[in-house]
Structure 1
Amino acid sequence: MAHFGFENDISDTLKLDVPITNAPISRWQRKASASNPSSSALSPGKYANVSLNISSKTPCKTPCKTPGRWKATPSKMGADRFIPVRNEKQMEMASFLLSKKARPKEDGVSAALLEQQKTWSIALNGCNVEEARILQFSGKPTVNPDSQHNSLKSLYSHTMTPMSNKKTRHISSTADRILDAPDIRDDFYLNLLDWNSRNVMAVALKDSVYLWDATQGNITHLMTMDNEAEYISSLSWAKEGNYLAVGTSDCAVQLWDVEQEKCLRSMNSHSARVCSLSWNSHILSSGSPSGQIHHHDVRVAEHHIFTLHGHSQEVCGLQWSPDGRYLASGANDNLVCIWPRVAQGRTDITKPLHSLSLHKGAVKALAWCPWQSSILASGGGTSDCHIRVWNVSSGSCLSSVDTQSQVSALAFAPNYKELVSAHGFTHHNLVIWKYPSMAKVAELNGHDERVLNIAMSPDGSTVASLAADETIRLWKSFEVDPKKKAKDKTPISLHSAFTRSIR
């Protein structure tokens, strides 16, 4: 029996859940006592009956002001850590939502029944099962008080405005290409550049005419005058692009077949140089320093069919409207005249429909609006510097812009419904204007001397400018977005009566 009693004493001694009265205090008890000096020290015999509340404060090694003490990090709502709560009910709900099959909504269910089902679901599950979602935060973040405003939180938590799908148009400030134009004649009243519907540009350099194929890049020398003292004073392409009219300083108008590189005929009716030309089907109109405008029917031998008298000085600008109903003429007498189309055999036209006299300088720059056939833009010379937009039906001036520079040429850009103006003294540049507001869109600078003429490419994407600095600059400022649908274009017939009947 004594043997069994000795074993029981040893077993009681080795039990860990019984306090050991004579053991030294453990390390964790010393640390707890040091961090909580207000509490009474634990005696070896009483520590088992004392409950240490150490979960309310997380010991950290952040030094505080009092030496020898450690600052405790308070546990508050909205701290820098998020500890998710995953209780059993939430796990069961997630498992149910993942495993359930989507049921089609039943028709004819009353709103009262749906509201009752929602109430039952919230009471039983703590949320509406039909609206419950997995892996998604619910609720909004708490709003900081005004005194604790966090600018970074406001920056990254507000709803961003969706980016606009509209692309910003880029207009290059430099020319896309530069061509040499040596021996160009620096004369404001001449028209030495034109671009046809076949993408071929014609330019007159002194006494010669050159053709530049913008598609292939080829250059063709078309003609040179016999007399070196004479020079080319005007150029104009026929609508089909296969015939070129050339006005010269020796009073002649030559008609050239550019495919055959052959002069078809020379028409003489003026008494001085021919500085402006414009086509209207088979009728070719020409202007001269006498102030007269001659109509030529290129199909017949007696080509001179009519003469218009409305200007007192040199006619330096001529443009037929796109529909062929009106002819606009500008001259050194500061007038813009609007003439009707001359019917065959009619001889009673003695004065223009409108004689517009608001300009105070020579009017060379004329341009008809391609999408509004009754709208005409005109530009004045150095003493005027204004661009004016006219309604030729009523003869009224719709708008006027002071450009502060000589206006030498105008052209409409149909791709963006804009107006391009070329300037001499003092700016020597091109300006793009938004039509009809006439707000300035961009300035194209690069020429060192005044710009004499401009021409628009057949696709409307590029404008060419000829200047006295002996360069031709190509400005690709009106390219259409490639994603934009191309409009249907009526093919040009090359077998018109005009093409078949030239003699």
Structure 2
Amino acid sequence: MNHFSLENEISSAVRMDAPITRGPALRWQRKMNESGADASTSGNILNVSCGPSKTPMKSMNRSMTQSKTPSTGSSASKTPKSGGKSKTPNKPKTPIGGDRFIPNRSTTQFELGYYKLTTENAGQPDEENLDLMSPSKMEYQKIMSENLHGDLLNSKIISYKSKAPGAPEGYHNGLKVLYSSCKTPIINAKKTVRHIPQVPERILDAPEVLDDYYLNLLDWSANNQLAVCLGGSVYLWNASTGDITQLLQLETSEEYVGAVAWVKEGNYLAVGCSTGEVQLWDIAQEKRLRNMTGHVARVGSLSWNGPILSSGSRSGNIHHHDVRMVEHHVGTFSGHSQEVCGLKWSPDGRYLASGGNDNLLNIWGANVTDTSPQPTYVFSQHLAAVKALAWCPWQPSVLASGGGTADRHIRFWNCATGSCLDSVDTKSQVCAILWSKEYKELISSHGFALNQLTIWKYPTMTKVAELTGHSSRVLHMAMSPDGSTVVSAGADETLRLWKCFALDEEKKKAMKSVSKDKHNPITQRSLIR
């Protein structure tokens, strides 16, 4: 018989449309049962309170509305004043539908926010009905809107219709303006960054150029002619026409040229030889004018100061030659124990800077005829040979010097006070330095280990550009007379011309107009064709 009961239970379970006879009562059934018990209880209270109560309808109304607090007219709900213990009345049952708390949503102001977001002008009449309203009605609507919603213009909910209020008088904002806009374009805005070509404008062969750090084999004249020393020969390259001329050839193959230097006017060239001689050549006639002796070792550095030619030798001595006199040797400076590889007169002729292989930088006075000369300043901060020397064109007392492989620093000196102004580590051997008057910059050529040219911004000494291309160390540099082009000579036997300081077109036109007025043939010539 058990299987019959199992089948009956299965069939009753699968009948979904039949009422459920088992299980707990539904929620609405429980509510109905509770309401029935409350009705019987309220009826008893009504019967008891009908006698003594003066207002029976009041108790009935309260009981019918299912108030949370007991009726005031019921004697059963009152606490007895005397006799027995005080008994707290029972908590009334929760009425139907009162099991959830519904807050007053008017406090959240959703309607007000929606009204302000969807209305173009909150508190103002619609534009369509504006013409149909009388002035009194418009004023009435405005007052009613303010009373109902408050001042909508002053209280904003995601509204960006009106401008921000101005700062109070006397308020100072310490923050800086990071961004600004200008409706009118700036027509005459000056370019802050110029283009610097990363490749040379021209490459020339320089066979047999000596790979010697202590020599000075390159110089550019005011007449736009470049003098290059190749072994025992000196060649002239005319940058205006491109013509190449061999100026001289030494007698034996063992001799070589150690230095060249143009006079300021550009019509005479001084040549220092490995034999210790200093020759003076007339370029127009291609003729040697003088052969000045006196050094016991090779001459590796030369510098002009008017008619005075100073020459530095491997012996450590500096001879001064007055080319106007028969007895040309007028003075000697002896301040170095090793070879003088750097020699430069200041633009105003007040100081002579000499750098030697003894790691010393000496600053001399202009009195070359002194019988017992002593350097004005001796700087020993460099840790290697000091070959690269360059005077600042707009500050005649400021000198830049560069050290060799063990030093690698460019240092700046104030020769009027004898102080070191600044120092920067270039990370490679400094071979030569040149200043750019146009851009207040300087360019340095380097050897081990990068073999590059670096342009620096003065006085911050931040790198502006690096020019690469030489496969070996860049030993020598020279600048064109207009200051726009730099030529570099490397141990890879090449000459590279870099147009890294090109002038602006407006300034170039102004210079040409000035040169035409003065009939100056030097500045009229173009640099490179």
Aligned to 2:352: 327
1:177 to 190, 195, 202: 202
Name structure 1 gaps, 5 residues minimum.
Answer: 1-75, 78-142, 148-157, 495-503
In 1: Cα distance, 2:158 partner to 2:243 partner: 74
In 1: Cα distance, 2:485 partner to 2:182 partner: 42
2:190 to 157, 166, 181: 166
Task: Quickly say closer, same or farther: Cα 1:146–1:403, change in 2 above 3 A.
Answer: farther
Task: Quickly say closer, same or farther: Cα 1:358–1:242, change in 2 above 3 A.
Answer: same
Could you give the per-residue CA deviations for residues 131-190 of structure 1, whole angstroms, max 9, x where no partner exists? Answer: xxxxxxxxxxxx99689xxxxxxxxxx976946822231111111111110111100000
Equivalent residues of 1:423, 1:429 under 8 A apart: yes
Equivalent residues of 1:413, 1:456 under 8 A apart: no
In 1: Cα distance, 2:510 partner to 2:372 partner: 42
Does residue 461 of structure 1 match 2:473? no
The one-letter code sitting in structure 2 at the alignment partner of 1:370 is P
Task: Quickly say closer, same or farther: Cα 1:481–1:493, change in 2 above 3 A.
Answer: closer
Shift of 1:387: 0.1
2:408 to 385, 400, 417: 385
Could you give the per-residue CA deviations for residues 337-378 of structure 1, whole angstroms, max 9, x where no partner exists? Answer: 0111126xx434421000011100000000001111100000
TM-score, normalised with respect to structure 2:
0.62
In 2: Cα distance, 1:186 partner to 1:159 partner: 57
Aligned to 1:420: 443
Aligned to 2:474: 451
Which of 479-488 and 360-369 deviates more? 479-488
1:229 to 246, 249, 254: 254
Does residue 363 of structure 1 match 2:386? yes
Shift of 1:436: 1.4
Task: Quickly say closer, same or farther: Cα 1:448–1:269, change in 2 above 3 A.
Answer: same
In 1: Cα distance, 2:432 partner to 2:345 partner: 15
Equivalent residues of 1:310, 1:352 under 8 A apart: yes
1:257 to 282, 294, 297: 282
Shift of 1:486: 3.6
Aligned to 2:334: 309
The one-letter code sitting in structure 2 at the alignment partner of 1:173 is Q
Does residue 216 of structure 1 match 2:246? no
Could you give the per-residue CA deviations for residues 7-51 of structure 1, whole angstroms, max 9, x where no partner exists? Answer: xxxxxxxxxxxxxxxxxxxxxxxxxxxxxxxxxxxxxxxxxxxxx
Q: Secondary structure at the match of 1:469?
A: coil
In 2: Cα distance, 1:350 partner to 1:483 partner: 48
In 2: Cα distance, 1:161 partner to 1:205 partner: 59
The one-letter code sitting in structure 1 at the alignment partner of 2:461 is M
Q: Secondary structure at the match of 1:313?
A: coil
Q: Secondary structure at the match of 2:336?
A: coil
In 2: Cα distance, 1:146 partner to 1:418 partner: 54
The one-letter code sitting in structure 1 at the alignment partner of 2:414 is N
Task: Quickly say closer, same or farther: Cα 1:185–1:491, change in 2 above 3 A.
Answer: farther
The one-letter code sitting in structure 2 at the alignment partner of 1:457 is S
The one-letter code sitting in structure 2 at the alignment partner of 1:231 is Y
Q: Secondary structure at the match of 1:483?
A: helix
Q: Secondary structure at the match of 2:506?
A: coil
Aligned to 2:215: 190
2:272 to 247, 251, 262: 247
Shift of 1:245: 0.4
Aligned to 2:227: 202
Shift of 1:492: 11
The one-letter code sitting in structure 1 at the alignment partner of 2:430 is V
In 2: Cα distance, 1:493 partner to 1:159 partner: 45
Which of 484-493 and 378-387 deviates more? 484-493
Shift of 1:435: 1.1
In 2: Cα distance, 1:254 partner to 1:199 partner: 21
Aligned to 2:427: 404
The one-letter code sitting in structure 2 at the alignment partner of 1:429 is Q
Task: Quickly say closer, same or farther: Cα 1:260–1:162, change in 2 above 3 A.
Answer: same
Equivalent residues of 1:240, 1:492 under 8 A apart: no
Task: Quickly say closer, same or farther: Cα 1:439–1:265, change in 2 above 3 A.
Answer: same
The one-letter code sitting in structure 2 at the alignment partner of 1:409 is A
Aligned to 1:95: none
Aligned to 2:456: 433
Residue-pair matches, total? 346
Equivalent residues of 2:331, 2:371 under 8 A apart: no
**Equivalent residue runs for 1:118-137 within 5 Å:** none
Does residue 373 of structure 1 match 2:393? no
Shift of 1:261: 0.5
In 2: Cα distance, 1:311 partner to 1:257 partner: 32
Task: Quickly say closer, same or farther: Cα 1:493–1:317, change in 2 above 3 A.
Answer: farther
Shift of 1:480: 1.3
Q: Secondary structure at the match of 1:235?
A: strand
Equivalent residues of 1:233, 1:248 under 8 A apart: yes
Name structure 2 gaps, 5 residues minimum.
Answer: 1-118, 121-155, 161-180, 522-529
In 1: Cα distance, 2:242 partner to 2:395 partner: 33
Which of 162-171 and 357-366 deviates more? 162-171
In 2: Cα distance, 1:260 partner to 1:299 partner: 19
The one-letter code sitting in structure 1 at the alignment partner of 2:190 is K
The one-letter code sitting in structure 1 at the alignment partner of 2:291 is S
In 1: Cα distance, 2:305 partner to 2:355 partner: 17
In 1: Cα distance, 2:336 partner to 2:466 partner: 33
In 2: Cα distance, 1:492 partner to 1:467 partner: 37
Could you give the per-residue CA deviations for residues 278-337 of structure 1, whole angstroms, max 9, x where no partner exists? Answer: 001110000011110000111111111111011110000000011111110000011110
The one-letter code sitting in structure 1 at the alignment partner of 2:324 is R
Shift of 1:427: 0.9
Equivalent residues of 1:407, 1:422 under 8 A apart: yes
Task: Quickly say closer, same or farther: Cα 1:324–1:493, change in 2 above 3 A.
Answer: farther
RMSD: 2.7
Task: Quickly say closer, same or farther: Cα 1:471–1:341, change in 2 above 3 A.
Answer: same
Percent identity of paired positions between Structure 1 and Structure 2:
59
Q: Secondary structure at the match of 1:422?
A: strand
